[in-house]
Amino acid sequence: MQQQPVPRSTDLVVFGGTGDLSMRKLLPSLYLLDRDGHLDGGTRVIAVSRDGLTDADLRDKAASAVRGHSAVQVVEPDVMRRFLGRLHHVTLDVGGDRSGWTDLADLLAPDRDRVFYLAVPPMISGAICRGLSDAHLVTPESRVVMEKPLGRDLASSQAVNDEVGAVFDESRVYRIDHYLGKETVQNLLVLRFANVFLEPLWNSRWIDHVQITAAETVGVGGRRGYYDSSGAMRDMVQNHLLQLLCLTAMEPPSSYDRDAVRDEKLKVLQSLRPVQGDRVEQHTVRGQYTRGVVQGEEVLGYLDEAGGSPTSATETFVALRAEVANWRWAGVPFYLRTGKRLSHARSEIVIRFRDVPHTIFPGAGTPPGSGSLVIRLQPDEGIHLTMLAKTPGAGALRLRPVPLELSFADTFATRSPEAYERLLMDVLAADSTLFMRRDEVEAAWRWVDPIIRAWDDHDVAPEPYPSGSAGPAGAHRLIGRTGRTWHEEETPR
């Protein structure tokens, strides 16, 4: 995407500033932005929490977090000193007395932009925004960043958005989805709309089906309590996977403009055929991991993880078939799946093209996996096109799939920014193109809610699958009913 200018001096106020998200993602990403020259010299980061830390305490924690981050291979002392000098801590209990708000007001500078990052559970987002308003800390240019999950369903999502919207205009609300910050996701737009040869093929005439996968080898770990109230459908499908579906299926926007892009994504969500009634059982699969072996290590099952109900029916895996009911995609199934404790960690979009209408090579065979475009989001970001070629040698003519590879790491000499780096840079530059608009979020909930209700109403228990496997057998039956297979099954080894 276009090169971002260095943003104006900004006070970035992070509520939940000493929590897991801040230490694992936000502060290391801000360090990398500082190192690469993307932070204005006057920009400060103000961590707000109830921890009672001094600035020095916060800087010690931040230094450890930065040094432990995988993308920070070498810590540059001068950069670290400059970055730590930007950090301040304010002790504030949102539901407590007003002294913390006064301390925050005293620290904020009147001549800087203000960005309020809510790295907190969504149920307290409204209280924080009301506190900011009551303390007169919101300027017309102030922006607020919200993390998922934005509610548990449409009604709770609307309630959160109403509370935040009472203080911040919609144009100032940045709903973050870190998948949209990945370089390969952004390159999907370039691939589709900057290369003329692909657009004539990007429709139901030439595409047989689409697969979108987000697979993890990790379990829920210390998030069991949260995950019991969420599950894979709310945690991954409602936001990440549906956003990837939108970018894959959307019509060309009139420009690379925040509302032009988001308008087209919204149209896709509104075109999704409802999955209701008997279609829920036919078109969806839920799973839950059990004990097994992942990458040579024995691991616990979901019900054995600490912090949750021993009889939980929460799904850790979802596979489903979606259909975009419009002229471009009529009849093309979109298969979505996501799960934890699977055999391999990867996120990818697979475009499976149709076979040729008539082969002139009888007996040569059409090996599985031919005619596929794979957009790898992680690991090893890149684009992989498989096409058929003749196997060298005399004798009977045989066809074999051969790959055309674009590895971003090999092709581009510069380091690709991680997702949170890119999205934080966009927030500071007031560019909301890669963030979700309220109507997008609510359209996604309108499609997801009936599926979750049907599971609950009919007591659809998740199908167990061993950790380290490819997921529950139902996922393979789901795609296999039409003679199709998941990408890893059709790829030659």
* Rounded alpha-carbon distances, angstroms, from residue 29 to 17, 98, 128, 255, 406: 13, 31, 24, 29, 26
The tokens for 12 are 């970035």
Q: In what order do the strands lie in the sheet with 173-175?
A: 87-91, 44-49, 10-15, 113-118, 143-146, 173-175
At position 182, the amino acid (one-letter code) is K
User: 273 with 451: CB under 8 angstroms?
Assistant: no
Output the pTM of the full model: 0.91
Domain range list for the chain? 10-147, 180-490
Closest CA to 94 of 56, 62, 61, 120: 120
pLDDT at 50: 92
> Going by DSSP bridges, is the β-strand pair 346-353/207-215 parallel, antiparallel, or unpaired?
antiparallel
Closest CA to 62 of 33, 32, 27: 27
Residues classed as catalytic: 240
User: 19 with 49: CB under 8 angstroms?
Assistant: yes
The residues with which 388 forms a beta bridge, in sequence order, are: 401
User: 343 with 466: CB under 8 angstroms?
Assistant: no
The tokens for 337 are 């799946």
pLDDT at 366: 61
pLDDT at 119: 94
Q: Tell me how far apart the alpha carbons of residues 184 and 348 are, in angstroms, rounded to a whole number.
A: 9
Q: Is 193 exposed, middle or buried (0-12, 13-18, 19+ CB in 10 A)?
A: middle
The residues with which 387 forms a beta bridge, in sequence order, are: 402
User: 10 with 115: CB under 8 angstroms?
Assistant: yes
pLDDT at 187: 84
Closest CA to 16 of 29, 26, 7: 26
Q: Tell me how far apart the alpha carbons of residues 90 and 280 are, in angstroms, rounded to a whole number.
A: 48
pLDDT at 488: 79
| Domain 10-147 class, CATH top level | alpha beta
The tokens for 115 are 């960005």
Q: Tell me how far apart the alpha carbons of residues 169 and 79 are, in angstroms, rounded to a whole number.
A: 35
The residues with which 10 forms a beta bridge, in sequence order, are: 113
- Fold observed for domain 180-490: Dihydrodipicolinate Reductase; domain 2 (3.30.360)
Output the 3-class SS for the chain: CCCCCCCCCEEEEEECCCCHHHHHHHHHHHHHHHHCCCCCCCCEEEEEECCCCCHHHHHHHHHHHHHCCCCCCCCCHHHHHHHHHCEEEEECCCCCCCHHHHHHHHHCCCCCEEEEEECCCHHHHHHHHHHHHHCCCCCCCCEEEECCCCCCCHHHHHHHHHHHHCCCCHHHEEECCHHHHCHHHHHHHHHHHCCCCCHHHCCCCCEEEEEEEEECCCCCHHHHHHHHCCHHHHHHHHHHHHHHHHHHHCCCCCCCCHHHHHHHHHHHHHHECCCCCHHHHHHEEEEEEECEEECCEEECCHHHCCCCCCCCCCCCEEEEEEEECCCCCCCCEEEEEEECCECCCEEEEEEEECCCCCCCCCCCCCCCCCCEEEEEEECCCEEEEEEEEECCCCCCCCEEEEEEEEEHHHHCCCCCCCHHHHHHHHHHCCCCCCCECHHHHHHHHHHHHHHHHHHHHCCCCCEEEECCECCCHHHHHHHHCCCCCCHHHHCCC
Which residue numbers in the chain have pLDDT < 50?
Answer: 1-3, 490-493
